Structure 1
Amino acid sequence: MPPDVFFSGPGLDRADAARGEPATLEAFARSPQARQLAWADGLPALDAGGRLCWEPVTEPALFLGLDGDTPCFSPIGAGGGDLRAQFGALAHLSAAEAPTFAAATSLASWHRRHGYCAACGQPSAIVRGGWSRQCGACGTEHYPRVDPVVIMLAEHDGRVLLGRQPRFPPHRYSALAGFVEVGESLEAAVARELFEEAGVRATNVRYVASQPWPFPSSLMIACLASVGDEALTIDHAELEDARWFSRDAVAAAMAGDADASFIAPPPFAIAHSLLACWLAA
């Protein structure tokens, strides 16, 4: 099994039964214990210790759940901001509070982008404490979407395949990844992405772990895939480079050695957990 994956874990008690009871949600919001997330620069705000910042409830748009007996809410937030700067903030985020951060960020982003009914085009309204929207014209209820993404290490003869995109920091390599397409299994998506991006054919695909990724709302599905040949045909529209790395090279990068042949993905990325799992096998 992989080490604990960042953004995973129990988080708050989501108190699903309360979501469909407006009177209960109103009572929660009026509770002297109730609190709401503070937002800054398009994300839930963090204090100097990397913990979420809370304030008295003024805009209980989204019900996040219960922390013991404490009702927790969030405004929808302004959103936006520089994505690279947002990733920088994750280095300081408490792992224990990362699931709440992920849920609030994804939920708020979905509401900002889905104010109108996809069935008839009329405005929709927040219901169930923010866990769905309902159209006032046709009655259709809409739920926050999650986009599945496969992320995988291809392995051959004791080495793993890693790639880099132009937007990566210099020398960083990571696992290959891609969205699951309609009518496609996870295994088929892994095989397709490996062949499209690197020209290698998967012979065996194994599931490892998953991670909610709140930028804006993906579910990263980490896999290992054996491939039959090491020859690469790189799709340079997708990747700047891809290459095979030995176990020693991966271990050096994961340890942060100054003379490592590449820079490993950051600890909050599931690619980091996937490499750690591969090293431990």
Structure 2
Amino acid sequence: MPDPLGFTGAWLDRADQWRADSAALSAALSDPRARCLALDGIDFVPGDGGGLRWEALDPTDDRAAMLLGRDERGVGYFVREPHPAQRIDARSRSVMRLLPLLSAQDLALYGGARSLVDWHARHRFCAACGTPTQLFRAGWGRQCGACRAEHFPRVDPVVIMLAEYEGRVLIGRQPGFPPAVFSALAGFVEPGESLEEAVARELFEEAGIRVADVNYVASQPWPFPSSLMIGCRARALDPALTLDETELEAAIWVDKAEVRAALAGDMDAPFMVPPPLAIARHLLELWAT
């Protein structure tokens, strides 16, 4: 990738050994240097310098402190579990305008915390028997008190890809995109298929094209609410398009000159690129070099 991908490169050691060590975790929680990430629901609260706001652990807050990791000094960093009565809208994009305030490392740390808080908000009850679950492993799991089933945070794999045909790549837009913005096509990986099969299926379902030679490029965690974007390329066998209009509003083939113009912000470019945080933009940058 030409530049680091957004939401990657968190600066904390995840300290997995603390998750199952009650004595070490208790010591970390009682350490006066311990810090807690300030959130407004699921969005971060900007600090004085525009980054994340870290606060001392409030002993009056009865919500569990979930471990994000430790720094090089051994100081623990935490985030509180969501309040049971609090409604979490994990797909809200209201925080998007604030994300550029964060450094790359803080952005990665916030993305992980956001996904963790959201997962707990959506998994208060056991999927096996319906009994309320309790947090364990310092926030990296929930356990059922009745059937003892254990549940752990998950991510949803999503393939996002550029199909290429004779020096052009395929990009599309959904109805909810900002005006003129086109992006790489994407879709969730389904049970029982490989990444290569998911790329081929999604491109055929959404755009009606058959592809071969699927290759992995890079991946990116995407905390809206908790996906892993898996960037790929593929070679289209034919450029004729048949769009699934429930998924795509439009799709076009563009060449490198057109992609470079869009990346440069040229007003005469045939489309606008996704924001710098999105892996789709990085895929286009890499392809156009």
Same fold (TM over 0.5): yes
Q: Any conservation in 2 of the 1:163–1:173 contact (CA below 8 Å)? A: yes
The reply to whether residue 273 of structure 1 matches residue 282 of structure 2 is: yes
Instruction: Measure, in 2, the Cα distance between the counterparts of 1:179 and 1:115.
Output: 24
Residue 74 (str. 1) matches residue 79 (str. 2): yes
Equivalent-residue separation in structure 1 for 2:47 and 2:178 (angstroms): 26
Shift of 1:133: 0.6
The aligned runs of 1:1-281 (5 Å cut-off) are: 1-40=1-40, 42-47=42-47, 49-58=49-58, 59=61, 60-69=64-73, 70-77=75-82, 78=86, 79-80=88-89, 83-280=92-289
Letter in 1 for 2:71: D
Partner-residue secondary structure (3-state), 1:252: helix
CA apart distance, 1:82: 7.5
Q: 1:35 Cα deviation (Å)?
A: 0.5
Task: Note the C-alpha offset of 1:34.
Answer: 0.2
Provide, for residues 145-165 of structure 1, a one-character-per-residue CA deviation record: whole Å limited to 9, x for no partner: 110000000111111100001
Post-superposition offset of 1:179 = 0.2
Amino acid at match of 1:171: A
Shift in Å, 1:85: 1.8
SS in 2 for 1:101: helix
Q: Match of 1:108, SS?
A: helix
Q: d(CA) in 2 for partners of 1:117 and 1:225? A: 40
Q: CA deviation at 1:61?
A: 2.1
Q: Once the 2 structures are TM-superposed, how far is the Cα of residue 84 of structure 1 from its aligned partner?
A: 3.0
Compute the displacement of 1:40 (Å).
2.1
Partners of 1:50 and 1:156 in 2: CA distance: 43
| Equivalent-residue separation in structure 1 for 2:43 and 2:252 (angstroms) | 35
AA aligned to 1:250 is: V
Q: Deviations over 1:82-114 (max 9, x none)?
A: 723222222332212111111100000000000
Structure 2 Cα separation of the partners of residues 127 and 41 of structure 1: 21
Between the aligned partners of 1:50 and 1:161, the Cα distance in structure 2 is 37
Instruction: Compute the RMSD of aligned alpha carbons.
Output: 1.5
Q: Please list the CA deviations of residues 110-137 of structure 1 after superposition, one character each: whole Å capped at 9, or x if unmatched.
A: 0000001111111110001000011111
| Contact persistence 2:131–2:145 (CA under 8 A) | yes
The amino acid that maps onto 2:257 is D
- Give 1:195's aligned amino acid: F
Q: TM-score, normalised by structure 1?
A: 0.95
Instruction: In structure 1, list runs of 5 or more residues that go unmatched.
Output: none
> Under a length normalisation based on structure 2, what TM-score does the superposition of the two structures give?
0.93
Deviation, 1:49, is 4.5
SS in 2 for 1:162: strand
CA drift of 1:22 comes to 1.7
Separation of aligned partners in 2, 1:98 and 1:236: 34
Unaligned runs of 5+ in 2: none
User: Any conservation in 1 of the 2:10–2:106 contact (CA below 8 Å)?
Assistant: no
CA deviation string 1:187-243 (max 9, x = no partner): 000000000000111111000000111111110000011111111111101000000
Instruction: Return 42-51 or 224-233, whichever deviates more.
Output: 42-51
